[in-house]
Amino acid sequence: MAPLKGITDALFRRVFTAHFSGIDVAVAPFINPQQNPRYPDKLVADLLPGHKCGIRLIPQILNTDAEGFISLGNRLYDLGYDEINWNLGCPVKMVAGKRRGSGLLPYPETIVELLERILPHLKPALSIKMRLGYRDHRESLALLPRLDSYPLASITVHARLGTQLYRGSVDLDHFQACRIATRHTLVYNGDLVSLDAFTRLAGRFDSVTHWMIGRGLLMNPFLPAQIKGYQSPDGERDERLHRFHDDLYRQLKVKLAGPGHLLGRMKQVWIYFSHAFPGREKQVKRIIRSTTETTYLNGVDTLFCR
């Protein structure tokens, strides 16, 4: 499960894994180091042991200062996490402009210097999630060979540039170039939204054994199980999607303060979940346009009981 900030928090991970199978590991959305340099409990609240949901969880951090990186990493280790993930992929200008996330990719020297300072003091294992580059594919090709000598658990590559944000197509030729440029375990990420897409990618990258799925989990929640050949959901597909939706809605309603927050969060989910209902665009639009809980729930009823 890819990290999707604002969606795949502890509550979502618990609900999703209760309804759908096939996920082995989740990377949690990044912890923002700038919010509070002392990392009070609030910052790691979503990662406290009580939130565990039966699949392995890897917290993600966005730090670029060695001291903060080590202290947060070791705190997460003390909470029970044996691996943390370093976000070198975030494309948001406010982040990338400060040479964090994918904004650090044009500076391989800084990345290597940070690893030199961090790794001797870091208790958990470290993995990296990155893009093909921030502005240019050559950035990953310059960086990857330099990472070979460090003991990284894995490197996930989202096969886009940072400047693409989440738009445009993934670049499979450059992902292939990354595969050749590293000795580390490489995880594929980007636009895995159907079994067909997976079959094509798995055919092309036959040495890749780890796959990360983000938006595709909402577009087709059965996808991880389909990839593993577990089951065919056809008969009870709608009922299961309905039960998942209602469970998520109910639990978010308890957690979030007020209907505005609840509808806002659910609409964020529907941006991707809507793709699970081809041919029912009109009904989905009604849900997305709703402004009260009543109109929202009426819209959901109409969609599922057409």
d(CA 89, CA 162): 7
For residue 129, state whether it binds ligand FMN (rule: CB under 6 A).
yes
Q: Where are the alpha helices (DSSP H) in 20-60?
A: 41-44
For residue 87, state whether it binds ligand FMN (rule: CB under 6 A).
yes
Site for ligand FMN in 211-240 (CB under 6 A): 213-216
d(CA 109, CA 104): 10
The least distance separating ligand FMN from the CB of residue 272, rounded to whole angstroms, comes to 8
Pick the binder of ligand FMN from 33, 59, 73, 89 (CB under 6 A).
89
Which residue, 29 or 224, is less far from ligand FMN as judged by CB? 29
Which residue, 144 or 187, is less far from ligand FMN as judged by CB? 187
* Chain center to CA of 29: 6
The least distance separating ligand FMN from the CB of residue 87, rounded to whole angstroms, comes to 5
Which residue, 46 or 246, is less far from ligand FMN as judged by CB? 46
- Cα separations in angstroms, 301 against 137, 238, 297: 46, 12, 6
Which residue, 7 or 115, is less far from ligand FMN as judged by CB? 7
User: Quick one: which of 95, 79, 101 has its CA closest to 35?
Assistant: 95
CB 1, CB 9: distance < 8 Å: no
Helix (H, G, I), strand (E, B) or coil at 99: coil
For residue 264, state whether it binds ligand FMN (rule: CB under 6 A).
no
Site for ligand FMN in 154-193 (CB under 6 A): 158, 166, 189-192
CB 161, CB 134: distance < 8 Å: yes
Residues that bind ligand FMN (CB under 6 A): 2-7, 29-30, 60, 87, 89, 129, 158, 166, 189-192, 213-216
